[in-house]
Structure 1
Amino acid sequence: MFNRRTMLMSLMLAPVAARADGGRTVSGDDFRGGLEQWRMEAIGDARVSARDGILDIDAPAGVTLWFLPALVAPVAIRYVGRAVAQGGPHDAVSDVNAFWMATDPAVPDGSVLGRRRSGAFEDYDRLKTYYVGIGGNRNSTTRMRRYVGRVGERPLLPDHDRLAKADMLIPNAWFAIGLIAHGHHIAVERDGAPLFEMDDPAPYRRGHFGLRTTQSHIQVRNLTITHG
């Protein structure tokens, strides 16, 4: 569980938080002030920058960027992303991925920030988290998973395994992503339409959000996180 100190630190690390109509709290990142709200775990020499409104992740291997403020459900995470194809060495058009509501049972307070990982995908098996991979495996799969905190187990429901071309990435095309955790309702949206939905009898109600890719070049902009 997150302790009081963790939650206070999370609030301090959210400089763009504000109250919205209806009592909701809105935070996020406009990607104009560097990487102060993020922590990177990466294999190799990943190049990551945040400027001019765009988070650019150019990675030769696995990389995860954790958003430092902790999240508490109900929450909606929304951003715009794309896979870059402009002739760069890692412009593979693959893996616009994310974790949300992630906790680490091996850490006393459960925070994923309590220990560092190598950036290798299998290092995240121990987390309890929701995960989505859009255009994974060299743009051949789009999947949602609910990690259960056990090594080697990444449960995948049949309805959460998409193979159609329409569910893959289009080179250089921006698209809107929504990650929802609202009570038992867990969902992924793409361009405002449902992509995956889950009625989770034991939902993950707090944790961290992380952007993920591997051997690819992706960009993100307009991150908004709404609580309540």
Structure 2
Amino acid sequence: MLSQIAQPAAAIEQDDFSALDPQRWRIETQDPAGSAVYVEQQRLIMDTRAGMTVWLDRPLRGAYRIEFLRQVLVAGQANDRLSDMNLFWGAHEPDLPDGHLRLARRNGVLEAYDNMASWYVGMGGNGNSTTRFRWYDGSGERHLLGEHLQPDYLLEAGRIYRIRVEVSADKTAYWVDDRLMFQQALDGRSTDGYFGFRSVWSRQAISRFRVIEI
């Protein structure tokens, strides 16, 4: 009897960025006049002069993996700066059930997110001097769960990074180019909620986005 061959997991969400779908992506930006979100060569471009979050407009629940490519562009354009390849996942309002978030409600300023609960990684933050992993508890506290300051944990201009976020029943993890950078036991904290690309004053390109169940 032949053994069954495991089939690759089907994507529950994916985007090749052939066009910007406003029903799929919701934008919160601190400086609308100096910032833009658009697609170019099958990449989502976040070109921001200040704080910006681009949310996937659906909650993710259970065990899942988020995968994409991401690049910080530094080529002399107005908002180019090697910093802040950041993201949220499992973001939700503490006062709403089932991992819901009030999208397009905040103004893109980082402090505006202090009253939501979320996991957060800021890679190359503070002018590319820190890479940090935090838990936002919904009461204004951003709990530091991990930190890397070494150069090989910071950003390189133009490098295309392969990012993976994993959520299981008991832990969550953040991977870069198959390197585990952070891992944390949930300890009762929820991972149900929304995923968002986050940045501050930079120009970044994102491609090959998908979410699969695990």
TM-score normalised to structure 2 length: 0.90
Partner of 2:204: 218
- Structure 1 87/154 Cα, relative in aligned 2: closer, same or farther at 3 Å? same
Residue identity (%): 31
For the 8 Å contact 1:184–1:203, the answer to whether it is kept is no
For the 8 Å contact 1:134–1:168, the answer to whether it is kept is yes
**Residue 63 of structure 1 aligns to which amino acid in structure 2?**
M
- Unpaired runs of at least 5, structure 2: 1-5
1:188-214 deviation digits (Å, cap 9, x = unpaired): 000011010111211313111000001
- Structure 1 196/47 Cα, relative in aligned 2: closer, same or farther at 3 Å? same
Alpha-carbon shift at residue 114 of structure 1 (Å): 5.1
User: As a proportion of its length, which structure holds more helix?
Assistant: 1
- Farther-moved stretch of structure 1 (49-58 vs 210-219): 49-58
- Structure 1 181/33 Cα, relative in aligned 2: closer, same or farther at 3 Å? same
Partner of 1:12: none
Of 48, 51, 69 in structure 2, the residue corresponding to residue 80 of structure 1 is 69
For the 8 Å contact 2:163–2:176, the answer to whether it is kept is yes
Partner of 1:165: 151
Structure 2: distance between partners of 1:197 and 1:62: 26
Partner of 1:26: 12
Of 139, 142, 165 in structure 2, the residue corresponding to residue 154 of structure 1 is 142
Partner of 1:124: 113
Alpha-carbon shift at residue 128 of structure 1 (Å): 1.0
After TM superposition, list the pairs within 5 Å mapping 1:140-219 onto structure 2.
Answer: 140-151=129-140, 153-157=141-145, 160-219=146-205
Partner of 2:100: 111
Alpha-carbon RMSD: 1.7
For the 8 Å contact 1:107–1:115, the answer to whether it is kept is no
**Residue 41 of structure 1 aligns to which amino acid in structure 2?**
E
- Structure 1 148/40 Cα, relative in aligned 2: closer, same or farther at 3 Å? same
**Residue 212 of structure 1 aligns to which amino acid in structure 2?**
R
Alpha-carbon shift at residue 89 of structure 1 (Å): 1.4
Alpha-carbon shift at residue 215 of structure 1 (Å): 0.9
- Structure 1 83/22 Cα, relative in aligned 2: closer, same or farther at 3 Å? closer
For the 8 Å contact 2:84–2:126, the answer to whether it is kept is yes
Of 127, 142, 155 in structure 2, the residue corresponding to residue 138 of structure 1 is 127
- Structure 1 194/108 Cα, relative in aligned 2: closer, same or farther at 3 Å? closer
Partner of 2:3: none
| Number of residue pairs matched by the alignment | 206
1:112 counterpart SS class: coil
Partner of 1:227: 213
Of 54, 57, 60 in structure 2, the residue corresponding to residue 65 of structure 1 is 54
Partner of 1:41: 28
**Residue 210 of structure 1 aligns to which amino acid in structure 2?**
G
Partner of 1:8: none
- Structure 1 154/60 Cα, relative in aligned 2: closer, same or farther at 3 Å? same
Alpha-carbon shift at residue 22 of structure 1 (Å): 6.2
Partner of 2:43: 54
Alpha-carbon shift at residue 146 of structure 1 (Å): 1.1
1:153-208 deviation digits (Å, cap 9, x = unpaired): 10003xx1110111110001101111111111110000011010111211313111
- Unpaired runs of at least 5, structure 1: 1-19
Alpha-carbon shift at residue 131 of structure 1 (Å): 0.4
1:25-81 deviation digits (Å, cap 9, x = unpaired): 432211112133100000112211024210101101000000012111201001110
